[in-house]
Amino acid sequence: MIRLLTFGLCLFTLSTCSELLRAEDEYRVEVLNEAAPADAGLSPEIAAAVSSTGFKVMKGESRTVCSFWPAKQWAVQADFKPTPALLYPLSMGQFVGVINYKRDGEDFRGQEIEKGTYTVRFALQPVDGNHVGTSDTRDFLVLVKPADDAKPDVMPPADLMKKSAAAAGTPHPAMLSLLAASAAAGEAPTLEHNAERELWSVGFANPTTAGKLTMQIVVVGKAAE
């Protein structure tokens, strides 16, 4: 009888520990009804171009992975026709928003992102042999330090890549992958999990010069080795 009770207790303990571990590892997204931090180092022009609301990605009960505030409006290309490789009607170097990491994070290449606030801009992956197979599409976002990004105007590609590499502290830009918008994505931010690739992405709609556009940003996970 004692053996049975002990065995049952062990099973209960293992089950409880397993549930606690799952809860600690679980990600979720929440609406963020507050502006970007006043001490983030954003220029007045950038701060004025950013929405006062956004979303934050949480891990477990209280750990904030990152917080994101989109630009108030995205300019889109009126004659844009999406392809399997090009999903979003945005321009290279276009200002997309602001992101904050409360602790060190990781970009889509596995590069360390130091905690702090960054501007976020749209970029296209080069068409060359160095990037084959790293992503389903050429659409990406790159991060720039606020001190290197004072105006929300479109940034020239050469400056964009150089400044984003400086943010990463490596020869390669700090980047976040973009996916095709999930069918579940709507007005409120929605978190999607690709278990096969271990990617967590947030889909959300934002105003543009031609209605609303839904974007799907990978917030946790990296390209396959």
Dist CA 14 CA 74 (whole Å): 49
pLDDT at 135: 64
The CA distance from 191 to 57, in Å, is 9
Q: Give the pairing of strands 27-32 and 105-106.
A: unpaired
- The pLDDT value given to residue 194: 93
Q: Which two tokens stand for residue 89?
A: 């009607």
Pair of tokens at residue 120: 């976020």
In this prediction, residue 224 carries a pLDDT of: 77
Residue 38: the pLDDT is 86
CA–CA separation, 216 and 109 (whole Å): 17
The per-residue pLDDT for 127 is 65
Q: List per-residue pLDDT tens for the chain, 225 residues long.
A: 545 444 443 444 444 434 433 445 689 999 999 999 888 999 999 999 999 999 999 999 889 999 999 999 999 999 999 999 999 999 999 999 999 999 999 999 999 999 999 999 999 997 654 444 456 789 999 999 999 999 999 999 999 999 999 999 999 999 999 999 987 777 789 999 999 999 999 999 999 999 999 999 999 999 876
**How many angstroms separate the Cα of 203 from the Cα of each of 41, 90, 142, 153, 188?**
27, 16, 17, 24, 8
